[in-house]
Amino acid sequence: MNEKIVIKNVNKFYGRKQALFDINLTIEKGMFGLLGRNGAGKTTLMKTLAVLHKKKSGDITICDVPVEKAKEIRAMTGYLPQDFSMYPNMKCDEALEYLGALSEISKAECKKRITSLLRRVNLIEHRHKKVRELSGGMKRRLGIAQALIHDPKVLIVDEPTAGLDPEERIRFRNLLCEIAQDRIVILSTHIVGDIEATCKNIAVMDAGKILWKGTVQEILENAKGHIYTTNVEKRFLPQIKKEYIVTGMLAQTDYVTVRIVSDAEPDLPNTVLTEPDLESAYMYCLHSNGCDVMGGEE
Amino acid sequence: MLFSKECKKILHSFTYILYCALVILMVVSQYFGESDGKVYPPVKGGDDYGYKIEEDHDIIMSSATVALTTEYFANRYVCYPFGFYKAVHLNNKEQAEVEKYISELSGLDSKELIDIKNNSNIYNYTDGTHYYSDYNVMDVPVSETLTYERFTEIMGDVDDILGGGSDYAVESLVVRFSRIPMTYEDAVEDYNELIEDDKITGAYARLFSDYAGIVLAIVPVFVAAALTAADRRRKMNELIYSRKTSSFRLVFTRYASLVTMMFIPVFLLIVIAFVQLLSMYSGEKMDMSVMFTLPTFWLLPNIMTASAIGMLVTELFSGGAAILVQFVWWFMGLMMAGTAGLDGMIGKYTFICRHNSLGMRRAFFMNWDNFVFNRIFYIIISLAAAVVAVLIYDMKRGGRFDGIRLFGKNSIFRRKA
């Protein structure tokens, strides 16, 4: 079986408003990051892959199965939505048993998988806790467990780390990397750090279009020669933010080190061309594709 | 596995607990309030033995003519098309037609009818919204030349003018207009029917079903709606939508679990009622099965229909609209329960079947065919509603439909505007 997702010329409308424009992507085994601002169309694309939305035109195949065969796609896909919860009165293992039953797994098999998954997501000690008693991070981990209950070939995870504390976020990223070893994992996020820490292949989306696709290394290469740092006095900051795309600021004793994205070398003293990080590369990608980016604007 | 999990979910829901409380309250306060005393043979020399329904053409023609004249004077005809209350007001042309028929029934001309109207007492009443005036017509003669065949033709025509579902529908004439006081002998016969034909339990099964049927026609809609809406309310719908299981399996498993769970308290109450009868009538010969079979056949269609409607409405409408439609159902249910309270009055389409009496077995069996048709009709309706709910669920699941909104930003009215 061809373990990849192929998306060809996909368009999607909400009423008369077009949400996806001619999307073309090939996603292979491992972690794949879909990066974009809020409202870029990431969730729409994720939901279309999870057969929760219907595309207007184009073709999607998941492991050679066209997305129109909803039941087969659902059997091989696990989905963790951005905004989800579970019946608050159910215990963790009960909630998983319920969703396992909906995935048509036998009772014995389901019980076995629940124990193994709860162990994997580090919730085994909380298996008899009610869903409403879980913290945000625990709930997300339970979310991953439910998405994996039927051992899917594809895991679609939409903004999973939003609202998590740094420790929980790191734990979650590591978990996703582990899971991606034997399946396709699509991580949709607007948090660059999540992608940087987990994905080799990424796509950048904005306004329903794919702006860029390739490896993390390639997007960094693409931004080379366009990222600068400079040390400026604090009082000049507002002016610099107005004129340039500022992606980072580090306050020193009597000056600020500013990271700037620019097509040409900024006309500022002490400016140094610097190696791009993913955040700056992403901002450059948006900027070079004509998106309205105000990096330093608060 | 899924069925038991759905049942457990329902068992832990607040709406279900409320449902159980309402069913128990209704049956305990109404049925057990009436059934706690043994029925004894009538005593000779009593004042009132109740009434019976017997096909007496003279009584039917006389009572129906008075009733029609009364409604004609007020131009307000109470009808129950498909079991729903409707006050019909006719235009001048239709009133003239009805007057022509009354003249034929009574042998009176227009002037004589006006005299009766002017000599009748008027009494005013209100239903809380409107004020009405009715004429207390005491007596209207029946034409000596009128045959019963012609009478039924006229009644059929009047029912057509009224749009159907009136008291004058030919199949309702006997039950509506042929009620006569029982004599001692009639009362003895009625008692004997209870003991010998109904084998006691048959009569109690009807009374139990009559009371339980009212609450079971209304309340299950809320339990079904709450369960159906829970996925969205708990932000669980996308987790469920993305599962392998088919929409048919999911919706029908939920439907089956709802019906099962809502029948359980009813069944337990039947058991209690049965035990009560065993203790009250110890030594008497009883039919052991009818106390279970009749209420099941009577009440299950109510639960099935109300549940299917609750699921369908909640899937079809989003947000406040679903609640609004549920309240419309509630209101209609109350209206039907309040107005269809006559013994043996079971129409083909009346959702709430009523027989509010321990006796009057013959009146009930006079409508037996209607009753059987009615219950099967509602079982079919409920299954059809559940199938439509499956189709809508499947559309929502695939992102092809998001529910009709009557209010707010995406209201259908705003979109049209």
- Is A101 in contact with B2 (Cβ distance < 8 A)? yes
Could you tell me if B160 and B249 lie in one domain? Answer: no
Give the C-alpha separation, B69 to B116, whole Å.
Answer: 10
> If you compute the radius of gyration of chain A from its CA atoms, what whole number of angstroms results?
21
Residue B242, CA distances (Å) to A63, B112, B394 in order? 17, 75, 11
Give the C-alpha separation, B358 to B289, whole Å.
Answer: 18
- Is B398 in contact with A54 (Cβ distance < 8 A)? yes
Contacts of A103 in chain B (CB under 8 A): 243-245
Could you tell me if B251 and B350 lie in one domain? Answer: yes
Could you tell me if A39 and A57 lie in one domain? Answer: yes
Is B48 domain-assigned? no
- The domain boundary, picked from B130, B145, B177, lies at B177
Could you tell me if B149 and B117 lie in one domain? Answer: yes
Residue-wise pLDDT for B320-373, tens only, equals 666 777 777 767 766 665 555 456 567 778 788 888 888 888 888 888 998 999
Residue-wise pLDDT for B358-372, tens only, equals 888 888 888 899 899
Is B211 domain-assigned? yes
Give the C-alpha separation, B262 to B217, whole Å.
Answer: 12
The nearest CA of chain A is from the CA of B410 a distance in Å of 12
pLDDT surpasses 50 at A196: yes
Could you tell me if B382 and B242 lie in one domain? Answer: yes
pLDDT surpasses 90 at B293: yes
Could you tell me if A191 and A207 lie in one domain? Answer: yes
Name, in order, each residue with C-beta under 8 angstroms of B74's C-beta and a sequence gap of 6 or more. B132, B133, B134, B135
Contacts of A110 in chain B (CB under 8 A): 1
Is B273 domain-assigned? yes
Could you tell me if B112 and B69 lie in one domain? Answer: yes
Could you tell me if A147 and A203 lie in one domain? Answer: yes
Contacts of A88 in chain B (CB under 8 A): 234
Residue-wise pLDDT for B77-91, tens only, equals 988 776 666 789 999
| Nearest beta carbon to residue B240 from set A78, A102, A143 | A102
For residue B142, give its domain range. Answer: 55-177
Residue-wise pLDDT for A94-134, tens only, equals 999 999 999 999 999 999 999 999 998 989 999 999 999 99
Residue A127, CA distances (Å) to A138, B137, B264 in order? 11, 75, 31
Q: Which of A139-153, A254-268, B161-175 has the highest mean pLDDT?
A: A139-153
Stronger pLDDT, A208 or A263, i.e. the higher one: A208
Could you tell me if A54 and A113 lie in one domain? Answer: yes
Could you tell me if B374 and B238 lie in one domain? Answer: yes
User: CB of A98 within 8 Å of any CB in chain B?
Assistant: yes
Is B249 domain-assigned? yes
Is B404 domain-assigned? no
Could you tell me if A8 and A112 lie in one domain? Answer: yes
CB B119 within 8 A of CB B108: no
Residues belonging to chain B with any Cβ–Cβ distance to chain A shorter than 8 Å: 1-2, 5, 9, 12, 230, 234-236, 238-246, 250, 397-400
Provide the 8-state DSSP code for B100.
Answer: H
Could you tell me if A209 and A230 lie in one domain? Answer: no
Is A293 domain-assigned? no
Contacts of B16 in chain A (CB under 8 A): none
- Is A70 in contact with B5 (Cβ distance < 8 A)? no
Could you tell me if B31 and B59 lie in one domain? Answer: no
- For residue A297, the model assigns a pLDDT of 46
B134 confidence band (pLDDT: 50, 70, 90): confident
When scoring A54, A62, A98, A150 by the number of chain B Cβ atoms within 10 A, the one with the most, hence best to mutate, is: A98
pLDDT surpasses 90 at A161: no
3-class secondary structure, A104: coil
This model of the complex carries an ipTM of 0.89
The nearest CA of chain B is from the CA of A68 a distance in Å of 10
- For residue A298, the model assigns a pLDDT of 42
Could you tell me if A238 and A138 lie in one domain? Answer: no
Residue B60, CA distances (Å) to A48, A179, B247 in order? 68, 81, 53
Could you tell me if A178 and A269 lie in one domain? Answer: no
Residue of A nearest to B237 (CA): A84
Could you tell me if A275 and A152 lie in one domain? Answer: no
Could you tell me if B328 and B223 lie in one domain? Answer: yes
When scoring A10, A43, A52 by the number of chain B Cβ atoms within 10 A, the one with the most, hence best to mutate, is: A52
Is B407 domain-assigned? no
- The domain boundary, picked from A216, A239, A269, lies at A216
| Nearest beta carbon to residue B238 from set A79, A98, A103 | A79
User: CB of A103 within 8 Å of any CB in chain B?
Assistant: yes
Could you tell me if A212 and A99 lie in one domain? Answer: yes
3-class secondary structure for B354-395? CCCCCCCHHHHHHCHHHHHHHHHHHHHHHHHHHHHHHHHHHH
- The domain boundary, picked from A216, A243, A262, lies at A216
Q: What's the CATH number where A122 sits?
A: 3.40.50.300
- Is A50 in contact with B242 (Cβ distance < 8 A)? yes
B417 confidence band (pLDDT: 50, 70, 90): very low
| Nearest beta carbon to residue B239 from set A94, A97, A99 | A99
Could you tell me if A230 and A277 lie in one domain? Answer: yes
User: CB of A262 within 8 Å of any CB in chain B?
Assistant: no
As for how many domains chain A has, the answer is 2
Q: Identify the CA nearest to A292 among candidates A205, A203, A217, A206.
A: A206
Residue of B nearest to A158 (CA): B238
- The domain boundary, picked from A196, A216, A236, lies at A216
Could you tell me if B27 and B104 lie in one domain? Answer: no
pTM: 0.83
As for how many domains chain B has, the answer is 2
For residue A168, give its domain range. Answer: 4-216
- For residue B355, the model assigns a pLDDT of 86
- For residue A17, the model assigns a pLDDT of 92
Residue of A nearest to B1 (CA): A101
A184 confidence band (pLDDT: 50, 70, 90): very high
- The domain boundary, picked from B177, B198, B223, lies at B177
CB B70 within 8 A of CB B135: yes
Is A295 domain-assigned? no
Could you tell me if B33 and B81 lie in one domain? Answer: no
Give the C-alpha separation, A187 to A198, whole Å.
Answer: 9
The nearest CA of chain A is from the CA of B259 a distance in Å of 20
**Residue appearing with tokens 């009440």:** B299
Contacts of A98 in chain B (CB under 8 A): 2, 5, 9
Could you tell me if B96 and B170 lie in one domain? Answer: yes
pLDDT surpasses 90 at B123: no
Is B47 domain-assigned? no
Q: Characterize B231-250 residue by residue with b for buried, 16 or more Cβ atoms within 10 angstroms of its Cβ, and e for exposed.
A: bbebebbbbbbbbbbbbeeb
- The domain boundary, picked from B177, B209, B236, lies at B177
When scoring A102, A134, A153 by the number of chain B Cβ atoms within 10 A, the one with the most, hence best to mutate, is: A102
| Nearest beta carbon to residue A86 from set B236, B397, B399 | B236
Bridging pattern class, strands A184-189 and A154-158: parallel
Could you tell me if A268 and A230 lie in one domain? Answer: yes
Could you tell me if B265 and B355 lie in one domain? Answer: yes
Please provide the average confidence, as pLDDT, over all residues in chain B: 87
